[in-house]
Structure 1
Amino acid sequence: MYRERVSRLDGAVVWEQTGPGARPVLPDGCMDLLWTPGELLIAGPDTRAHRPEVPGRTRYAGVRFAPGAAPALLGVAADETLDRRIGLADVWGAAKARELTERIDGAADPGAELEALALRRARTAVRPPDPLLAAVVRQLESGSTVAAAAESVGLGPRSLHRRSLRAFGYGPKTLARVLRLQRALALVWEGTPYAAAALAAGCADQAHLAREMRELAGVTLSAYVASANS
């Protein structure tokens, strides 16, 4: 079973999965701090669907950070973790990662303990998340073009691309596609027909949305909805 809640950390989500996770994780522009018994991982941004395969492990918890927020808090650039899951020990050191893993292993609510860790990191971060990129994300989430979003924050195309790689793992055009797909999926979950969801999210038509699903998720929209409901 999967469940999530809004975090006390701005823009973040705390989630937990129990039992085998057959549902693919689709690109969403986010990074996660992920716990499974005995291990802490940083889940980088995805450019394609990720299907968790961890034999013998049936419990997971995580904090999913807002797009662009994790690098400043976790201490690793998004493009260094693109399409990867890396051990926290590789970034924070073995001793620190082991201490934190043991603490979360013993917690009654691992998700809440992870959230507390994320909040502490946010309070002590030497460099906070880039506020200009947060504004770009808001623009793109509302359906703005990349050019309009860049202009609204006073960034040129090269500067925006460079900052985007570190914050999101990929350029702003890919981020815009990912966020558009997420908008369409949110509408589908609300019961909006596929064609109407495609247009409302900013796709040219349902066929455009279908192509984006195949390229970014590797499955058809109907197959993804069926797997998520199974």
Structure 2
Amino acid sequence: MKKIVLVFALLITLAGCNKTLTKETALKRMEAQENKIDSYELDMDLSVKVSALGQNNNSSVELSTEVDRKNNRYRSDVINADGEELEVIIKDGKAYLEDRPGVWKKTAKVDAKEFSRQADYSVPLEVLGLVTEDLNFETTDDGYYFTYEGYDKKLYKTLKKYYNISFTGFDTTEDLTIKMDINVDKKSLRVQETMIKVIGKNEKGKVSINIDSQYDQFNSIEKIELPEED
């Protein structure tokens, strides 16, 4: 009988550990987990679709980035809007671009600053925190799902700061809609995927900016070595 009681007690304990969290508790624990993330891999796609004044234009940028937060280093493979492939390495606020195979050039400091902050894991946590009360929250066996649709001035300014987005010819308070879907692993409470869309629409036309990011390989990135500066 004692053994049966002990097993029953253990099952209750384990069930308690897997208890589904509320939205507020999940957000707090996600923030607490951030301090345990030293490195990760980030795949990001940024695309712009314009249908305005009789013109239709599409452009996109793809980034595959290894982030070493502990040592403030980044290595990124970039495919820009022209289809050109670039490799960039960043350390301590300095960005190095591979000018040609084996030859690296130091670029403008502002490039490193802007790239580093938009690639940081804190970004999805920050944007979630800005619209906590308006977030829809769902759970499954494997994950937590946060969704948002609407317009928030602070949220727009934050997205503009990180991703340098702009909507010329649109009233940002009247013509814009922001949609966000952020997926979180239930066990680790780490963000796995973010899908952000900012849509501007008025009588002149429509502009849609998509920022899709995937996070993986947590705390498994090897030390990023710097190139020899040319």
TM-score, length basis structure 1: 0.23
In our comparison, the structure showing a higher alpha carbon Rg is 2
User: Which of the pair has the greater relative contact order for Cα pairs under 8 Å at 6+ separation?
Assistant: 2
TM-score, length basis structure 2: 0.23
Q: Pick the structure with more helix per residue.
A: 1
Q: Pick the structure with more strand per residue.
A: 2
